[in-house]
Structure 1
Amino acid sequence: MDATYALRQTILGQLQSGQWQAGARLPTEREFCEQFQISRTTVRKVLGELKSAGWLKQTVGSGTYVSERAPLAAPANGSSGLRQGVSPAELMQARLAIEPAIVDLVIGNGTVGDFDHMRLCCDRAEAATTHEEFEHWDAQFHEAIARAAHNSLVTNIFQMMNDARAQGEWGALKKKSLTPERRLAYQREHRELLNALRERDPGRARATATEHLLGIRRNLLNY
């Protein structure tokens, strides 16, 4: 795992675990440089990406802080509420039931900023040089769609599904099945879905989301 990816994952982990709440001040750029042995330019790039995604905010002369838009923290007992051992088949059933169904909410409530964040996720996934980085931005794209619904229950459900994606069985299957051709297909389908949402076309968006998920299921589970 490269240091840039490790820094990004560390920050996201602190946000999602609730260790850093809204308004909390992050370590300084210098501290991140020393901890991860990377340049200040690289640190600023990672912080800038997360700021553009709405997770962080920066105040000149003061520092970097957790945004009010940052994901909701897990419960105090450290559990996300997700039952351990969710199978890939269960996860795909849930995704097929839920993701196409929230299209109307996204089209009705999504903002230009939301669609820009989806585009950023597409850009980062396409530029990813490792499977782990691609999978991270792939998951963030789908979570960005959920966040664009601007419904806290939908957001929480998607965070739970991303927790399930982080479990070992899903990751192993995805890594085994992700050929270069399939990765290109996923990237193309993400762009098509983004365009349909941005153009406020519910029928095309639902159809694209469904076909995308059916393709993932075929590749992972062979049905």
Structure 2
Amino acid sequence: MTDPSAINVDPVARVRTYIAEGGFDSGVKLPPERLLIDTLGLTRAALRKAFDVLERDGVIWRHVGKGTFISDGVPPQSDDASVRLGRQLTPFRMMRARMAIEPAIAREAAINATGESLLRMTQALSRSRAASTWQAYEVEDDVFHRTVAEASDNLLLLSLFDQLNEVRRAVAWGNVERRTVHPSPDHTSFEQHDAIAAAISSRDPQRAYDEMRAHLRSVSARLFGEA
């Protein structure tokens, strides 16, 4: 039976944590809804709302009559234009596109962010630092960047970010070497994300732009040896 005290818990965060801590691999089917409702202490409506968000973010995909599955970033048998484009892009070109677009989105976020947007950013930062696996961290990294886009309060920019993210998931990144089970406390992206959030919270558009660009250049340098 659903625990009434759990109703106020963010259902998206609860399901994300369940997936991350459960160690589910890409393509694995999640338990049935009725079992998840009892396990997570959510109502059916809250669970389905969380699934809507996670499917939009590319964490899961749903097949009517078959169930809910952990995504590998590219929905099976998809011929979506974003997927086709992603398969033609190199990871380096993908990062260059992010550096061209996301700093401008961060600048708009500094102008338009609401208190609720800033709170969601803070929550994503906190969850990313607490991540027990790289997979869990990457989920929260995605959430943080999308929350910045949401904070721009511009549906066209948010749609553009979502398209960019869809293409990013389809790019063949290959195997990224991980030397630890989870990010270390001094993982550079933690401090960089904090700086982006601080600039947005301070209503400093130029600093938000600069911090986001510096962050993406740092990621690019780690991946490719150059920015």
TM-score by length of 2: 0.65
Q: Which whole-Å CA distance do the structure 2 matches of 1:185 and 1:127 have between them?
A: 15
Cα 1:88/1:114, change in 2 over 3 Å: same
1:4-23 correspondence runs (5 A): 4-5=18-19
- Residue type matched to 1:149 in 2? S
Q: CA deviation at 1:103?
A: 2.9
Q: CA deviation at 1:31?
A: 2.9
1:1-223 correspondence runs (5 A): 4-5=18-19, 30-32=34-36, 40=39, 43-44=40-41, 63-64=45-46, 66=49, 70=53, 71=56, 80-82=80-82, 83-85=85-87, 86-167=89-170, 169-170=172-173, 172-173=175-176, 175=178, 180=183, 184-223=187-226
- Cα contact 1:177–1:219 (8 A) shared by 2: no
Cα 1:6/1:184, change in 2 over 3 Å: closer
Q: Which whole-Å CA distance do the structure 2 matches of 1:114 and 1:194 have between them?
A: 10
Q: CA deviation at 1:182?
A: 9.0
Q: CA deviation at 1:4?
A: 1.3
The percentage of counterpart residues that share the same residue type is 25
- Quick one: higher RCO (CA 8 Å, sep 6+), 1 or 2? 2
Q: How many residues align?
A: 181
More helix by proportion, 1 or 2? 1
Cα 1:3/1:138, change in 2 over 3 Å: closer
Could you list the runs of 5+ residues in structure 1 that have no partner in the other structure? Answer: 14-26, 34-38, 48-57
- SS state of the match for residue 218, structure 1? helix
Q: CA deviation at 1:108?
A: 2.3
- SS state of the match for residue 192, structure 1? helix
Q: Which whole-Å CA distance do the structure 2 matches of 1:131 and 1:179 have between them?
A: 5
Q: Which whole-Å CA distance do the structure 2 matches of 1:204 and 1:152 have between them?
A: 23
TM-score by length of 1: 0.66
Q: CA deviation at 1:90?
A: 1.3
